[in-house]
Each structure stands twice: as C-alpha cells, then as structure tokens.
Chains A and B, each alone.
Chain A
Amino acid sequence: MSFLHRHKGLTPYLLLLPGIVWLMLFFVAPLGFLGYQSLQTGTFDTGYTFDWAFSNYWDAISDYHEQFVRSFVYAGIATILALLVSYPLVYWIAFRAGRWKNVCLILIVAPLFVTYLVRTLAWLNILADEGPVVGFLRDIHVLGPDGRLLATSVAVVAGITYNFLPFMALPVYVSLEQIDARLLEAAEDLYASKRQAFLRVTLPLSAPGIVAGTLLTFIPAAGDFINAQLLGTPNQYMVGNVIQSKFLDVLDYPSAAALSFILMALILVGLLGYARAVGTERLTG
C-alpha cells in the first residue's frame, strides 16, 4: 500500500495491466498470427512457409466474391428488417407501455436466453415444408404448390433477422426512453402535427440508438454462418461458412486466414465510414 502511495501515478497502469495483457495476448497477438498465416503457402500435409503470398488475398476475392457479396447483402437486409420490426415495438414500449415496461423488455431479450443454435433450429420446425407457415403461404398462392421456405435465402435472412433483433431493439429503446417528453410537448405547442413531431424530434433524437443498433446487428450478421448452414443450402452460404469449412474441414489455413482478414477489413472500413458519417463519440460511448 505504501508503495502505491509513493507512486500514485502507477495506480492506473496496475489496474490496466492484467486486462490489457490478456487482450494483447489473446486478441491482438492472434490477429498478428492470422495475418502471418494469410501470407503463407503450402498445404496441411507438407507444412506452410511464409513468403509474402499476397496472391492468397487475390485468390480469396476472385474465388469467393459471391459469398462476400451475399454476406453483406443478407446482413444489410436483416439489419434494415430488424430496425423496421423493432422500432414501432420499442416506441410503443417507451411511450405507451407504462408500468409494463420492464415486462416488455424482458420479453424482448427473452430470445437471447434460448441457446443460439436451439432457437435457430426452432425455425426449422416453424418453416418446415409440412408446417403451418408454408401451408398458409401455399393456400394464398404466395408460394407455389411445391414452394418451400427452408433452403431459400428468405429462410436464412429471416433467421438472421430474428437472431439479432434484440441487439437492434435495445439501443433504440434506450435512446427513445431518454427523450425528454417536454420536447415533444414543445413541438406540439408550436403547432407541429404528430407526424412532424415524430419526424423532426423523436426520430433524430433516437438516431444514436439506431446507429448503435445497426452496428450491433450488422457486424455479427455479416460474419454469421449458422443460419446459412442450418436454414439454407450451399447456395446460400456466406463468407463465414467458407472460413469455417476451410479452417476446420479442409484445413486450408492460409486461404481461410486471408478470407478472415478481408472480412474484418471490410467491416472496419465500413465502421470507419459510418463513424465519419455519424461521429465517433456515438460509436465508442
């Protein structure tokens, strides 16, 4: 203790040390190894040699650009759907639910308490070919008599939307909840219609929540491979599926590492662009 008293400036560094060391060893260093691996050539049997093989990156892009595009399109659609589905819901909770607010919030996060894989598998039951949803859609001729939902992009996007919806809903709720009701009264006093008050007061004030929710939904969605694997077919595979199979089935580490790096780089570039558009303060809190 007396040591700390004499070296007060050291306290923050001592507090930081264990956590930072852990993150350096098991977050930063692995990324370094991933980069190193991505520039190697060779096979699992013959071993790998490091020779600045940037061609791994070009090969990865030319071989798998389809999966990259699909990942970002699926994740983008799922993010927009999650916003559209959750905004009216959390709006209602924030302004109208009254004493039921807490119960409603528990219901929103409830899906997160069911193991991720199990709740994705539940969609297999719901969307099954003999199930009620497909039957109904066939009856109203949205689907043909042999039409199905499983093994289509619709099922994969629906699964992703469902799985990450709470990550959109919660930050939007928090930003709506913090809105000072007096601002809305002021807008009304100044003869704003309900619609104008919403578009010019509520919506802009909930923007930070939308920004945070978009990131929390889009990033995991772009890297997801479970929904495509369980609800889709190889025709719906995303870049996550490719990385996963290259790492764990095919054992083509350099190519898998290059793909991971490209995915991360694309997301970081997107993040930076997004941060520029909306301001960094809102991103890192």
Chain B
Amino acid sequence: MRWVKRHLLPAYAVLAFCYLLLPIAVVIAFSFNAPSGRFNYVWEGFTLDNWVNWDAPPGIQSAVVKSLEIGMLSTILATALGTLLALAIVRHQFRGRGATNMLIFLPMSTPEIVLGASLLTLFLNRQVVTGFGTIFIAHVMFIVSYVVVTVKARLIDFDRHLEEAAMDLGANEWVTFRKVTLPLLAPAILSAALLGFALSIDDFVITYFVSGPTQTFPLFVWGAARVAVPPQVNVVASAIFLVAVLIMIGNVIWGLRGRRAREESMPPAVPLPEQLHQPEAA
C-alpha cells in the first residue's frame, strides 16, 4: 500500500506526459507514412519521400515562406513597440497608466475570433484590400501585448544600481541605455521575440479573417483539411516542432552554463550539515 502511495504521483506524471506527447508522436510518425490513397489516416508503410519532396503539394512552399516572412516582420515591429511600452510602464509615472495597462491586457483577453472579425469589419468599411499587409497589421497587434508582459517581468526585477553606476561614471542617459540597460534586457527581448514569432507562425483564426487571397501555412492546412491532408503537412509541422524544441533545449543549456559559470567564479561553499543528506522535499 505504501509502495502504491509513493509511486502514484510519478506514475500519473508519466501517463499525463504520454497524453501530452501522443499527438506529437502521431504527427511525426505520419510524416513518414506512405499512404496509398489521398488520405493519411492509416499507417501503411515507412518512407522518406515526404521529407525529400516536402514541397510537392502545390502551394505548400509559398505558404511556408509567407508564414516565415510575416512571422519575422511582425515580430520585429511588435518587439520594438512592446519593449518601448514596457519601458514606459515600468520606468515612468504618467497619467493614464491604468488605462494603458488595460489597453495592453484587453487584446489578450479577447477571443481571437472577435479580434479577427473586428479587424475584418474595419478593413471592409475602409475598403482596405486584405492580404499580406493586413495579416502583418493583425499579427503585430496581437503580439505586442505578449511582448509587453514578457519584457515587463524582467524590467521589474531590474537592478537599477548598474545604471546609476554608469551615470556616476559620466555616461549620459542614452549611452547608459545602450550600453547597460539594453544588453541586460536582451535575453528578455529575445524570448519575447521568440514567443511572438511562435504565436505568429501558428496563428490561424485571426489570419483566416484578414488574409484575403494570401495563404500562410496554417491556412494551407485548413484548405487541405477540407479535402485530404497530404503527409507533407506533417513534415512541415514536424520540422517546425523540432526547430522549436532545439531552441528550447539550447536555451536551457545556455541558462545552466551561465549558472555554473557564476557558481565557479565564487569561492566553494561549505555545505551545511542538513544539506548533506537532504531529505526528499515534501
């Protein structure tokens, strides 16, 4: 009974991870499937053809390229706008702060379908032709808030003594910002940008409303799902997944290295008696 009790939670965790990862395994596995018909639902045999000829289905290549272009452009602008907003909110006192916070919070708490629908009404009413430009506009709009939240979190913990030291040493505000503030904020800005890029290339709902004739990768999948999804869709999704996971792992290793380097530069700490035989945390 005790044995069961002790292993219940880890066993549950393993099961939960299986549940989380099962669809990913299915997506990757079916990228290697060789379906005889048009439908890629049943396993019929292993092949590398789909990976070699990933751009065989007409339109998939240009859709992937569009997704990457829109992702990069909108991330760059949204990261810049969001970082400035975060700086203003954390560093300055001004009138209308509460309203500003609300304005940034609201897009994140509005269902995507409402964001997409309202943008489409705006474009229809102002007779704006929807396409690449309107997708870009929409993506910048919904990424900005996430950038603000990410950068804000780092700014709040920011050690302002470093900036004061720079100013004491004769740097003016601009030089201090460029040489001290910005480098220290860089990891937060980078993770905000990565998050923004991930949100952009994955977005379907808002893009669907404002895309006009332009096709991004998710829109291509949607179109394909109405007929039959070619295995190349799984190839592209698997590739995006692998790149993202590699970036995450790189990030973790980078973080661990940084920590180890900091620890090594410090004198060796004498472990306290209770740390030597640390009981399992309750």
Q: Which A residues have a C-beta under 8 Å from some C-beta of B?
A: 1, 4, 9, 11-13, 15-16, 18-20, 22-24, 26-31, 33-34, 36-37, 85-86, 88-89, 91-93, 95-96, 102-104, 106-119, 121-126, 128, 130, 162, 165, 181, 184-185, 188, 194, 197, 215, 219-220, 222-226, 230, 240, 243-244, 247-248, 253, 256-257, 260-261, 263-264, 267, 271, 283-285
**In the complex, which of the residues B20, B113, B225 contacts A243, with contact meaning CB atoms closer than 8 Å?**
B113
Nearest neighbor of A159 in chain B, beta-carbon distance: B23
- B24-50 CB contact bits vs A (8 Å, 1 = yes)? 101100100000000001100000000
Interface of B is mostly: helix
The CA of A128 and the CA of B30, in the complex, are separated in Å by 14
Give the bracket for the number of chain B residues in contact with chain A: 35 or more
The answer to whether B222 and A117 have CB atoms under 8 Å apart is yes
The answer to whether B84 and A15 have CB atoms under 8 Å apart is yes
**In the complex, which of the residues A114, A181, A248, A267 contacts B281, with contact meaning CB atoms closer than 8 Å?**
A181
The answer to whether A130 and B9 have CB atoms under 8 Å apart is no
* Chain A contacts for B118, CB-based, 8 A: 27, 30-31, 33-34, 260
**In the complex, which of the residues B17, B125, B201, B255 contacts A33, with contact meaning CB atoms closer than 8 Å?**
B125
The answer to whether B113 and A260 have CB atoms under 8 Å apart is yes
The answer to whether B245 and A106 have CB atoms under 8 Å apart is yes
* Chain B contacts for A23, CB-based, 8 A: 103-104, 107, 141, 144
**In the complex, which of the residues B24, B122, B202, B248 contacts A30, with contact meaning CB atoms closer than 8 Å?**
B122
The CA of A3 and the CA of B140, in the complex, are separated in Å by 30
The CA of A271 and the CA of B125, in the complex, are separated in Å by 30
**In the complex, which of the residues A13, A219, A248, A260 contacts B208, with contact meaning CB atoms closer than 8 Å?**
A248
**Residue B249, interface by CB 8 Å:** yes
Interface centre among B27, B205, B218, B282, by most A CB within 10 Å? B282
* Chain A contacts for B138, CB-based, 8 A: 26
The answer to whether A34 and B121 have CB atoms under 8 Å apart is yes
The answer to whether A18 and B101 have CB atoms under 8 Å apart is no
The CA of A284 and the CA of B17, in the complex, are separated in Å by 30
- B195-225 CB contact bits vs A (8 Å, 1 = yes)? 0001001101100110000000110011001
Nearest neighbor of A17 in chain B, beta-carbon distance: B84
The CA of A31 and the CA of B116, in the complex, are separated in Å by 10
Least distance between A237 CB and chain B CB atoms (Å):
13
* Chain A contacts for B91, CB-based, 8 A: 12
The answer to whether B20 and A126 have CB atoms under 8 Å apart is no
**Residue B82, interface by CB 8 Å:** yes
The answer to whether B249 and A106 have CB atoms under 8 Å apart is yes
Least distance between B217 CB and chain A CB atoms (Å):
7
Known A37-B125, A106-B252, A130-B42; contact A20-B85, beta-carbon cutoff 8 A: yes
